[in-house]
Amino acid sequence: MTRGRLIAFEGLDQSGKQTQAARLRQALEARGLTVVDFDFPDYATPLGKEIGARLKGERTFPPDCLQLLYVANRCEHRPAIEAALAAGQWVVCDRWTASSVAYGEAQGLQPEWLRLIQRVLPPADTTVLLDIAPEVAARRKQQHRDAFEQDLELLGRVRASYLRQAGEAPNWHVVDAAQDRDQVTADVRRLVLGA
């Protein structure tokens, strides 16, 4: 049986990751493929609840501890993801390992360490970076923004890390997420599916 593929959507909050992941899933299923999807962080798990509390300002963690929580939250789903890939299914993730690199690096952590602690996770076959300026993202959601969403300087560093990562890896595609969402969808399908 052919191994499935893992497609990761990365980018700042409000870049359209959730929308584009759902639309890609529909396109893949229309082609007769079996698709499973995951959103990270998964706030329903005990680790995810700790992350959610931090983002709401109810808890404090140093940056390295926070990234370890994010990685552990993904590891909670590793068996299901590996099983799906082994069964030939496609896995679509709203955030994956590059998020820890981007957000951790933006907070002063070493990218090499952030990659090392995630070596237990299956790598993405394709990463789609939905690139958007922090100011545009902030205009899309003006209320109920979490701690990271409120810090535009931090988000600028996150964006720079994402773009650096995209420039270093052959399996990344950068899409202008400030475009109309239907155009973003067309770009994603062309880059991922050749359609």
In this structure, what are the phi and psi dihedrals at residue 185, rounded to the nearest 5 degrees? -60, -45
Asked if residue 182 belongs to a domain, the reply is yes
Confidence (pLDDT) at 53: 93
* Count of structural domains within the chain: 1
Kindly give the confidence (pLDDT) of every residue in the chain, 195 residues in length, as a single tens digit, with 9 standing for 90 and above. 689 999 999 999 999 999 999 999 999 999 999 999 999 999 999 999 999 999 888 999 999 999 999 999 999 999 999 999 999 999 999 999 999 999 999 999 999 999 999 999 999 999 999 999 999 988 876 655 555 666 789 999 999 999 999 999 989 999 999 999 999 999 999 999 987
Confidence (pLDDT) at 1: 65
Confidence (pLDDT) at 87: 97
DSSP conformation letters of 112-164: HHHHHTTTTSPPPSEEEEEE--HHHHHHH--SS--TTTT-HHHHHHHHHHHHH
Write the CB contacts of 57 (distance below 8 Å, at least 6 apart in sequence): 147
Asked if residue 167 belongs to a domain, the reply is yes
Confidence (pLDDT) at 171: 95
Determine which helix (DSSP H) or strand (DSSP E) holds 176, and give its type and residue range.
strand 172-176
Domain containing 152 equals 6-193
Confidence (pLDDT) at 139: 83
Confidence (pLDDT) at 138: 82
Rg (alpha carbons) of the chain, rounded to whole number: 16
Can you give the pTM of this predicted structure? 0.93
Asked if residue 1 belongs to a domain, the reply is no
Task: Count the residues in the chain.
Answer: 195
Confidence (pLDDT) at 143: 58
- Residue 135's CATH number: 3.40.50.300
Asked if residue 153 belongs to a domain, the reply is yes
Confidence (pLDDT) at 147: 55
Confidence (pLDDT) at 151: 79
Asked if residue 85 belongs to a domain, the reply is yes
